[in-house]
A and B are shown apart, each in its own frame.
Chain A
Amino acid sequence: MNPAFLKKVKRNDRLARWVITIGGMAIIFSVIFILILIARVSLPLFLSPEKALRADFQLEQAQAQQVATLGVDEYLETGYLVDRTGRFDFFTVADGSPLDSVAPAGEDTQRRLLTVDSYGRLNHALIWDDGSISIVQVKFFPFFDAQNNNQRSIRHRVEVLGEFPAPESGMPVRSLARSDGEERQVRVDLFADGHLQATLQQREESFLGDVEVTEETHTLSRKSAGAVTALTMSHNGNQLYIATDAGEIERWDLSDSEDPVLLEVVHAFADQRKITALDLVFGDVSLIVGDARGELTTWFPVRDEEGVWKLTRIHQLPGHNAAIDYVSPTLHDKSVLSRADGRVQISHMTSERLLLTIDPPGEKIATYALSTRGNGLITLSESGRVDSWELDIPHPEISAKTLFGKVWYEGYAEPSWSWQSSSGTDDYEPKLSLTPLIFGTLKGTFYAMLFALPLAIFGAIYTSQFARPRFKGIIKPAVEVMAAIPTVIIGFLAALWLAPLIERSLGSLFLSMILVPAALMISIALWQAARKIDPLKRVERGFEFLAVAPVLVMAVAIASVLGSGVESWLFAGDLKQWLFTETGNRYDQRNCIIIAFAMGFAVIPIIFTIAEDSLSNVPPSLRAASLALGASRWQTVWRVILPSASPGIFAGTMIGFGRAVGETMIVLMATGNTAIMDLSIFNGMRPLSANIAVEIPEAPVDGSLYRTLFLSAVILFVMTFVVNTIAEVVRQRLRAKYGRF
């Protein structure tokens, strides 16, 4: 032998060994590993939010005491302080170096600011000590300098949205004002004697261009007993909430300028605790209530049985140890900031999670402002230190409870499991409960298995045990080919052909459910007589399934002919209508019956193939032994073959179940895709898989929806993985037992 060649051959062999070993291991582990990556995408949903102190600087004591409020842009670059003279001093957040300074409400050295009521996107109602109010808005906008290499800088502008003169009836102790900047301005004043006055100003522009201003002043007669401790108003000035030190909340409707209405007085707390802070959650639906005991709750009106809207306590957010002295909403989601004893907490309404606590050591926060995007917070402590915090709160609305539990969403009559990921407006509360989707998946799978299991298993029993080998050689591959039919085709036929057909002939469907078994029973009974004739008896040698075909076809045909007649006879002509009026079941065209047929059809071949394999692999000696003892062929199957093959049948069932759980196209096309939790067979559902297909193209990358969808993929993965692993282990055992499979 040529030694050089030998060397080459050996080198090749070694090389191949390395390549195949490394390659093979790499492929297998990467295939397994990458599926873990899906879980990694959904993981940040459960990470805690983070905060980082970006910059801090110290104000001089004198200046610090002059600060009425402060604000910051969403890039955390420029901040501003509003001092008691109503002057806006802008500064660079990074080092506190001063920028420009504006006095939007005029350079009046006499007036001092009592307080500043900030709301919305950097809107400030400056409340002066002479009783007048100016509403000022700060706007930040990025500017790209074309001259200087498109360098970005943040520019700002301060605008006055509205002005209110001092009320004629005297000096209020507390005031509140809102302006939408165009048509409507509302001002509410609380006077020292405890009475409230609302001034509603309406600007109307006639189509000729004349501007007409109407102003109405009303005294709001309170029905509550306690002293007013907190007030808040919606952005548009239509809703007013008043809270007292006796734990009462009054809800006013100011939308009609001529007639403010007191909607209700709620005794919010049984212990009549003092309510110390009020505000509205972004969207102006939910009311945030902070009380003297440090508890933080949210409320919104819910319609009770009589149809009356009642302010109801909805969420209990993590509280403080001291009385809450200030609450405010975030401006892009349903989070709530609250301050008590100099520390600020950020929590989310829907998930009731405590997101972050801002508690600079040794300092007490006097004032704070959140950037409009919620990514930054600037705080001024009592000692005059200004801290700017970078916040990273990626998924505040997600918690185990919102994903799986019942949540009382805004505007809903009761807590519910809901999935509704998006809406047209910004202030929408996303409903990301996976429970209805998991329910939908299981419901669809259940009905599909109900249809598929008996057919597949009994079909497999017949094929492996009773059919002639010649037929078996045709049936088996035919069923395997059936498994290859794309599900998009099954789904399309189910939705566009089967669903209308069944809707038209629902009566026939139910009739055939009775007629088919009846016809089978009758023909089997008749067969007893016929089988005594010799040539006919040969049917019993594996031709039964052919002989039974005409019976089935006839039964279905008769059912479809009689169906409409029966429907008009028993159900007044319309079964669907009858179902709705008699049982309250709405009939959807794309419902579980369709899913049962379509998805059942898709999983039958899988269960059939595996069950048939395991039945065929039972050693023939067992069968022979049983038959030799005088057992009939069915008794042999029932008592001998089936028990030995049952692990295989179980494995097939599991794998079929896994397939049904993950099936996407059929459910996407043939269900209504409504995420409802309803067991009725006449309704559709929305399973996890279809939900992913529907929602993922619209989901912003790395957003909560995106990650939640990945999480639902993980759930699907785990569901199928567990089921398949059980099946696979069972199968390997079986394989070891019978040598081959």
Chain B
Amino acid sequence: MKKLPTRVKYWRIGEPMVWLSGAALTTTLLTAIVLLIVIMVNGLGVFWPSDIQLLELKDGSRIAGTLTRTEPTADKSGLRRQYKIANRDLYGLDFRWIDEAQIAHEEIPANMLTLERMEYGDFYGTLKSLGHAGQQDPATFAQLESALAVVKADLDGLKELEEKLTAASYRMEKLRLKTLKLDYNKAPADNPERLEIESEKEQIKAEFADLLEVQLSRTAKVREATAVFVSGDGREKEVVLADIVRAYTPNQMSVTEKILFYAGKLVELFIGEPRESNTEGGLFPAIFGTVMLIFVMSLFSFPLGVIAAIYLREYAKEGLLVRIVRIAVNNLAGIPSIVYGIFGLGFFIYGIGHSIDTLFFPERLPTPTFGTGGLLWASLTLALLTVPVVIVSTEEALGAIPREMREGSYALGSTKFQTLVRILLPMASPGIMTGLILAMARAAGEVAPLMITGVVKLAPALPIDGNFPFLHLDRKFMHLGFHIYDIGFQSPNVEAAKPMVFVTTLLLVLIVLVMSSVAIRLRNKMKKRYTFGTF
């Protein structure tokens, strides 16, 4: 054989292919890392109170805003900056691009304020005066803060009233449904129950009117407290203090203060209610909805999946049928989730739900009770979708248990069931857990089937509350994944909604990644235990 020069040989033996396959792996991993970095960078910075700059442009106009991005101008001659200028009610936009060449002067004035408001997003500007019922007096930030505290206390008082009002309207609704039922049963007009309901209705109505009056007058009173702020370009804006969620001076805050502020915002994120069509405020209903969904889904998919797997692995006779079933089950895991969704719609909602309505709530028709999307149906649909995951991993776990374990147990005179409960299930539990966690992670991230089985952008009430029967499985709910889709794609102001989408994304990614990492660790640990064990 002729000896080849090393250089030729290097190519001939395919060494570069090794490098190329390495590059393929690296590309994959880098893509994943870039994805995570993008989410982190965009998500983590959202709550950080950045400095408000005051710019003076060459044409003499002044702009206050926080710097969000810098990039080359379209003609590549210089840089341009994107500022969040807030004050949507004054400017109509939240962001503005400014060429650096236009900036004459920039500063970070200490007295700039950020107001988080109930409406129109943030406000950037300086405080001019505090006022009450038309009377305006110059004030300092400290005075504003104390005034805000007073207003907040008043608002908390109002919240109690609000709750009472909600309770009253809930009772009213219950009575309305009762009346509907009586109507449906053709109860005569002088039915004692009917009369009772009527009198109760009257009573609640009166109560309601009183409460409403008190609420209105108190609200009006609270709303008398206002403050006048001056925006960066010198325009004045009167803001009702009750509409201010939070006021702070980012330019004066130290790093510690900023961290504390950040933590405060995080707490709000977890326990707060959403505002401004979900683009501000907290995620509590979405988090709660997601958790409830996962919980109810697990209640169905876990036992069903485990029983099915036990049957397949321990009780069914190995044969063609079991092989086919196993293929089918593995196959089910690969069926598009939207197909499950449409099944949930056709079978659960329009099939079972509608039957429940006609059987149990005929008086409410045509308003559906269970015949419309809701937590129960969404959970069942997801349970169906995740049952194969549980079956496959439970089966795998049971199959990984050495035959000797079963024989050892039978040889001591135990029944199949005893062997199952005392030996097999405890040994398979990490595998079963893996399946369950993977199923839960899938449920947390799945959106498509939920969209057609009961998830909504803004649920009026949580699925659990203080009203009998406490757990309302027929209610619609919110979900983190859908939240992302909804505020990222359905909200009128996508640019302003982006920060919130990234925060939600970050949260969801964290939840899902932590869950699946735990599951995969558990599984690998189990594999090791049986592969390299001592027997």
Which A residues fall within an 8 A CB radius of B? 9-10, 12-13, 16-17, 19-21, 23-25, 27-28, 31-32, 34-35, 37-38, 41, 454-459, 461-463, 466-467, 475, 477-493, 495-497, 520-521, 524, 527-528, 540, 544-549, 551-553, 564, 597, 601, 604, 608, 632-635, 638, 655, 658-659, 661-665, 668-669, 689, 692-693, 696-697, 701, 709-710, 713, 716-717, 720-721, 723-725, 728-729, 731-732
Contacts and interface: CB of A to CB of B under 8 A. Distances in A.
A486 B447 contact: yes
B420 interface: yes
User: Chain B binding site: helix, strand, loop or mixed by DSSP?
Assistant: helix
A356 B75 CA distance: 68
Contacts of A553: 30
A480 B513 CA distance: 10
Given A462-B21, A520-B19, 10 more contacts: A9-B417, A482-B32, A483-B516, A486-B447, A493-B38, A553-B30, A638-B17, A713-B338, A721-B331, A729-B327
Nearest to B16: A524
Contacts of B350: 701
Nearest to A473: B524
Contact of A13 (B329, B417, B442, B481): B417
A716 B524 contact: no
A729 B517 CA distance: 29
Interface in B503-535: 505, 508-509, 512-513, 515-517, 520-521, 524
Given A455-B28, A662-B338, A728-B330, A34 B384 contact: yes
Given A520-B23, A725-B327, A601 B448 contact: no
Nearest to A631: B13
B415 interface: yes
B138 interface: no
Of B315, B338, B494, chain A has the most CB atoms within 10 Å of the CB of B338
Contact of A549 (B18, B26, B387): B26
Nearest to B494: A496
Given A24-B311, A28-B312, A552-B27, A481 B517 contact: yes
A552 B15 contact: no
Given A32-B328, A663-B336, A732 B323 contact: yes
Contacts of B320: none
Interface stretch (B101-109, B161-169, B483-491): B483-491
Nearest to B348: A34
Contacts of B314: 20
B311 A21 contact: yes
B25 A669 contact: no
Contacts of A483: 516
Interface stretch (B111-119, B199-207, B273-281, B339-347): B339-347
Contacts of B342: 38, 692, 696, 709-710, 713
Interface in B355-413: 384, 387-388
B336 A655 contact: no
A720 B336 contact: yes
A638 B235 CA distance: 72
A482 B25 CA distance: 13
Of A38, A488, A697, chain B has the most CB atoms within 10 Å of the CB of A488
A724 B334 contact: yes
Contact of A21 (B7, B28, B315, B335): B315
Contacts of A38: 339, 342-343, 346-347
A693 B27 CA distance: 32
Given A477-B520, A634-B14, A492 B484 contact: yes
B308 A665 contact: no
Interface of B: 6-7, 10, 13-32, 35, 38-39, 42, 72, 76, 304-305, 307-312, 314-316, 323, 325-332, 334-339, 341-343, 345-347, 350, 384, 387-388, 415-418, 420, 438, 441-442, 444-448, 451-452, 481-482, 484-485, 488-489, 494, 498, 501, 505, 508-509, 512-513, 515-517, 520-521, 524
B445 A485 contact: yes
Contacts of B451: 693, 697
A724 B330 contact: yes
A486 B24 contact: no
Given A466-B22, A720-B336, A28 B329 contact: yes
A20 B521 CA distance: 30
Of B387, B416, B447, chain A has the most CB atoms within 10 Å of the CB of B447
Contact of A689 (B35, B336, B345, B521): B336
Contacts of B508: 486, 488-489
19 contacts: A13-B416, A16-B420, A31-B384, A34-B343, A35-B339, A37-B343, A455-B24, A458-B20, A479-B28, A488-B445, A490-B35, A493-B38, A521-B16, A528-B6, A548-B23, A655-B334, A662-B335, A713-B343, A732-B326
Contact of B416 (A16, A35, A457, A638): A16
A25 B311 contact: yes
Given A462-B22, A486-B508, A495 B488 contact: yes
Contact of A661 (B10, B315, B336): B336
Contact of A520 (B7, B20, B326): B20
B85 to A, nearest CB: 20
A737 B424 CA distance: 26
Of B326, B330, B335, B448, chain A has the most CB atoms within 10 Å of the CB of B448
A41 B346 contact: yes
A661 B342 CA distance: 16
B28 A484 contact: no
Given A24-B316, A475-B25, A17 B31 contact: no
B448 A664 contact: yes
A456 B25 CA distance: 7
A9 B30 contact: no
B166 to A, nearest CB: 28
Contacts of B387: 27, 31
Of B20, B342, B452, B488, chain A has the most CB atoms within 10 Å of the CB of B342
A693 B16 CA distance: 45
A478 to B, nearest CB: 7
Contacts of A463: 25
A658 B333 CA distance: 11
Given A459-B25, A524-B19, A696 B343 contact: no
Nearest to A13: B415
A634 B6 CA distance: 16
Contacts of A528: 6-7, 10
Nearest to B346: A41
Given A12-B417, A27-B308, A28-B308, A668 B24 contact: no
Contacts of A475: 25, 29
A24 B315 contact: yes
A265 B106 CA distance: 75
Contact of B445 (A16, A477, A489, A493): A489
B22 A669 contact: no
A710 B338 CA distance: 11
B346 A634 contact: no
**Across the A-B interface, the 6 shortest Cβ-Cβ residue pairs:** A24-B311, A662-B336, A486-B445, A634-B14, A632-B13, A458-B24
A665 B338 CA distance: 9
B132 to A, nearest CB: 44
Nearest to A452: B28
A462 to B, nearest CB: 4
